[in-house]
Structure 1
């Protein structure tokens, strides 16, 4: 079915060419390497353009893009661009503006918030590819064993459930997450800050996370560790490891990117088939409103960009247009499609029974700061949040120091 749909996509795009392109992609959350290789093989079969992939861990992506884009002739023709790199790469013009390739119809079929993630100083630096964001995962069988028949709506209710699970000896640690000292830790902190009703920076671009919602978020994370509710191994976990812990039935709750949903009911890898559900991330009871504020998440939108020093820009765009096309995304529904027409398609709604949950969650997205110095800002956040989680600094001390250091970077 996938192959038939994609053949139709190529016919619709009417692309015929020859040559070779090199693509740098992430082997972590989002579309998996096997998905990309399938897309690449079909693209090659139908266009004659060979595709060679380089897959690296997320935390290697940024430096590889910077290094390969800084020389006259680059290694890659297409690179995966995280929204947090848009300002830096646009400011340095290390990737090619794509506005001349993007049609009015394409712009109208993707939400402005997604386009905005890849826009800087009036130009579009990547084509939206992945509407990634975090969701809530829970084990309903474990909850039933603990005496509950519903998912938690607030963080406080979730803590109550975790304490019951632990007290009854069902699980040693009801929660685990990707809290290693990497970018994923910042993502977890962003949604938790949102779950307490705030954001890391204010409307003037100033860091304010050392007070209010940001402080409550880190105090909450530390509390989960101190009370033995969160697996201490979370401090060394990335997203795939957190996913593995959940589908191994070691924990009852976690949050993760949309990719985790595809593993829940795969009997070849999952011990939670028929038990696990995906739902909306709870927020604190202090801000919970069933009509207006009942969930919060972090955006992780990703796009495909063409490095400025690619010698195959036309072929690169043909590949980008192919893998981001609505019909190809409709064939790979394990990830959230960026196109409104695909999200609203009745057939898609039938095939993907959680599309409504995804639509509600993505509407509650909180963003990491869009600043050209983001790499330095993130590095500071990672360091001091992790120090608090390790118990080496109090949450307030850690966040105060992080603000001081970020202020110096931003000046």
Structure 2
């Protein structure tokens, strides 16, 4: 899909192309990184969108890189994640102020590539050992047949549960299907008085239900909107049943994620669907002072017998207008190496994107071990420009569905119509 681009953006893309073709002393332009690494010099400006607590770990890696490549310096610029996407879109068209390398959310990658702002990386040192990357994260780094990013960190959703409540209810194993999930939730409610679950009313968190029935948001190949297909409707009906049956606390209209997390940490619900980022917060709750009480399992399967959860994370991308491409390729290669990923996995609890980074030391951590298993059933979201806008609309309709204001079919039909008329006008609603 390619939505309309403004005249200013088109001019910016043309300017980038001219800059890229001009070349420079450090392999600027469309260099493939064939230059002798020992002779590469320059300064790489890196926009790092990670959080403040992770900064020291990345600063150490920067120093290690500079020690290995003394002719290259790296300027790490912390940029607020919330502001980074628009900040890059503002800087990139002019060729002034944009970074050489950026830590780019997987949901932004296709949009940046569609605007011509990202350098294709196939055949460059940045993608050395490409076969070692996990398929899920790698799929999020491609756009229209080109690799425009290198997976940095990844995540997916899993089933997180309170082992103590399971034991009190006489349940030995976490549910493997959504049907079992409902039965487990009812048993826990009947035997302990605690709600079985609480759903986060964000569209992203509805996808395991949709995927479990064979549905999806879009058919990108044929440019069709499928979020209101019979399969998707059936998946959302499962989520609605959890609320209607009373085994799930009613989702909040605002701050749904925070409400869900608070309930889980306080022991007011037994199971939630969440990602690895949430576990550090879970451990701060009174129910998980004993960390061993936190259970993690893969997402349950739907009636198809298959389970899947959306994949998230970040890629390293190289700005197409960079005058330091050869240095940038080497920096990205270093930061995504198995050694660097092992370091961040143990230091700041990230999930690696390389198979070889899942060493015994990394997998000795129960959270990483569990989510590594969960990654085996992860599924890439549609890699199209503006996918984030689709989720803004999805959130608004999904919360209405869960709260019983509209039926799943009516709500998803309205969502499909909104996408088609306002966001992806070149897509048709599948019949």
TM score, norm. by length of structure 2: 0.75
Indicate if the aligned counterparts of 1:87 and 1:120 stay in contact, CA closer than 8 A.
yes
Aligned-partner SS, 1:252? strand
Q: Give the whole-Å Cα distance in 1 for the aligned partners of 2:321 and 2:135.
A: 28
Q: Deviations over 1:351-387 (max 9, x none)?
A: 2456664344222223322223534433332332233
Give 1:302 deviation, angstroms.
Answer: 2.1
- In structure 2, the CA distance between the partners of 1:111 and 1:147, relative to structure 1 (3 Å rule), is closer
Equivalent residue for 1:153, pick from 150, 164, 176: 176
Give 1:304 deviation, angstroms.
Answer: 1.6
Q: Does structure 1 residue 68 correspond to structure 2 residue 91?
A: yes
Give 1:306 deviation, angstroms.
Answer: 2.9
> Equivalent residue for 1:218?
236
How many residue pairs get matched? 378
Q: Does structure 1 residue 92 correspond to structure 2 residue 105?
A: no
Q: Does structure 1 residue 377 correspond to structure 2 residue 390?
A: yes
Indicate if the aligned counterparts of 1:299 and 1:365 stay in contact, CA closer than 8 A.
yes
Indicate if the aligned counterparts of 2:156 and 2:310 stay in contact, CA closer than 8 A.
yes
Q: Deviations over 1:289-327 (max 9, x none)?
A: xxxx3x321111420223345566555545433332211
Aligned-partner SS, 2:133? coil
Indicate if the aligned counterparts of 1:77 and 1:312 stay in contact, CA closer than 8 A.
yes
> Equivalent residue for 2:314?
302
Indicate if the aligned counterparts of 1:187 and 1:368 stay in contact, CA closer than 8 A.
no
> Equivalent residue for 2:21?
none
Equivalent residue for 1:54, pick from 52, 75, 79: 79
Taking the TM superposition and a 5 Å limit, the aligned residue runs for 1:201-350 are 201-202=218-219, 204-237=222-255, 242-243=260-261, 245-262=263-280, 270-271=288-289, 273-284=291-302, 286-288=303-305, 293=306, 295-309=307-321, 313=325, 316-333=328-345, 334-343=349-358, 345-349=359-363
Q: Give the whole-Å Cα distance in 2 for the aligned partners of 1:214 and 1:267.
A: 34
Q: Give the whole-Å Cα distance in 1 for the aligned partners of 2:38 and 2:340.
A: 14
Q: Deviations over 1:237-286 (max 9, x none)?
A: 465764454334332111222223455557999445221111111123x2
Q: Give the whole-Å Cα distance in 2 for the aligned partners of 1:70 and 1:356.
A: 42
Equivalent residue for 2:161, pick from 138, 145, 156: 138
Give 1:397 deviation, angstroms.
Answer: 0.9
Q: Give the whole-Å Cα distance in 2 for the aligned partners of 1:270 and 1:232.
A: 23
> Equivalent residue for 1:7?
none
Give 1:127 deviation, angstroms.
Answer: 1.3
- In structure 2, the CA distance between the partners of 1:154 and 1:91, relative to structure 1 (3 Å rule), is same
Aligned-partner SS, 2:204? helix
Q: Give the whole-Å Cα distance in 1 for the aligned partners of 2:416 and 2:160.
A: 32
> Equivalent residue for 1:21?
45
Q: Deviations over 1:153-211 (max 9, x none)?
A: 2222222222233334542x4323432xxxxx232122221122332334634222313
> Equivalent residue for 1:200?
217
> Equivalent residue for 1:111?
134
Gap runs ≥5 in structure 2: 1-36, 67-72, 427-431
> Equivalent residue for 1:35?
54
Give 1:337 deviation, angstroms.
Answer: 1.3
Indicate if the aligned counterparts of 2:298 and 2:370 stay in contact, CA closer than 8 A.
yes
Aligned-partner SS, 1:278? strand
Q: Give the whole-Å Cα distance in 2 for the aligned partners of 1:36 and 1:250.
A: 34
Gap runs ≥5 in structure 1: 1-12, 28-32, 180-184
User: What is the root-mean-square deviation of aligned Cα atoms in Å?
Assistant: 3.3
Give 1:149 deviation, angstroms.
Answer: 1.9
Equivalent residue for 1:188, pick from 205, 211, 218: 205
Q: Give the whole-Å Cα distance in 2 for the aligned partners of 1:86 and 1:269.
A: 38
TM score, norm. by length of structure 1: 0.79
Q: Deviations over 1:115-162 (max 9, x none)?
A: 332112332221111122111111110111122122112222222222
